[in-house]
């Protein structure tokens, strides 16, 4: 069965007003990418600005490496794909079977209020197509609404980077909001595991993962919905 999966990355590269760089988290892109690719999916990468999305340099450090990140770094075709993401405004939900948003801190700034991203997710939602997001990327869901105008996450089991994990990386006062709090404010039934342990919530066609360790499991759950 042929599957077309859209992966949407951040274009935001600054950690608030700290002057420090941020972007997408390598593991949260690479692990799902290979889950999808190894299943034979046709993958399109997109970002708000198009082109090369910013990589959070911390996710490229030796202690952040995994089998998936090492595989990506040796994969010239995947690196070329990443360097040339499609502009988000140029993609159409009709062309894909599912959408997946990798995390990193960048999405906290450029995705919650991005009207193009919100409209895209709402089209996937209306079409009954699977929607996935991991770690900070559920921030892209907080202003999405259902066709009757309700918050998309209201009454749904969801997860995402926890308040204690944010405190653990020392960015509680840097991020524009705490994702766990915002998901709860929007009516989501927030679930979590211990800090840094894998945890995925699946509710209908929505799949969310808590943190980097949840990246591959979340992608596998999204694939299960497609099959």
- Report helix angle 26-38 to 215-226, nearest 10: 30
Taking alpha carbons only, the member of 66, 80, 75 closest to residue 27 is 66
| pTM for the whole structure | 0.98
Cβ-contact 226, 97 below 8 angstroms: yes
Alpha helices in the chain (DSSP H): 26-38, 67-73, 76-83, 107-110, 115-126, 163-168, 179-185, 215-226
Cβ-contact 28, 102 below 8 angstroms: yes
Q: Which two tokens stand for residue 5?
A: 């999966």
Backbone angles phi, psi at 34, to 5 degrees: -80, -30
Cβ-contact 28, 123 below 8 angstroms: no
Give pLDDT tens digits along the chain (227 positions): 689 999 999 999 999 999 999 999 999 999 999 999 999 999 999 999 999 999 999 999 999 999 999 999 999 999 999 999 999 999 999 999 999 999 999 999 999 999 999 999 999 999 999 999 999 999 999 999 999 999 999 999 999 999 999 999 999 999 999 999 999 999 999 999 999 999 999 999 999 999 999 999 999 999 999 99
């Amino acid at each position: 069965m042929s599957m077309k999966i859209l992966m949407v990355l951040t274009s935001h590269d600054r950690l608030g007003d700290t002057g420090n760089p941020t972007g997408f988290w390598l593991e949260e892109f690479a692990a799902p990418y290979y889950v999808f690719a190894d299943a034979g999916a046709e993958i399109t990468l997109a970002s708000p600005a198009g082109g090369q999305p910013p990589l959070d340099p911390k996710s490229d450090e030796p202690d952040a490496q995994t089998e998936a990140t090492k595989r990506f770094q040796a994969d010239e075709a995947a690196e070329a794909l990443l360097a040339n993401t499609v502009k988000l405004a140029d993609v159409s939900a009709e062309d894909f079977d599912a959408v997946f948003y990798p995390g990193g801190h960048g999405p906290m700034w450029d995705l919650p209020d991005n009207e193009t991203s919100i409209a895209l997710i709402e089209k996937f939602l209306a079409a009954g197509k699977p929607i996935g997001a991991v770690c900070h990327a559920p921030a892209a869901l907080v202003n999405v609404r259902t066709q009757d105008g309700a918050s998309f996450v209201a009454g749904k089991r969801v997860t995402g980077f926890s308040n204690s994990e944010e405190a653990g990386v020392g960015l509680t006062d840097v991020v524009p909001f705490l994702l766990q709090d915002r998901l709860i404010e929007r009516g989501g039934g927030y679930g979590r595991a211990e800090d840094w342990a894998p945890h995925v919530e699946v509710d209908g066609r929505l799949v969310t993962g808590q943190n980097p360790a949840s990246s591959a499991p979340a992608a596998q759950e999204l694939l299960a919905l497609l099959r």
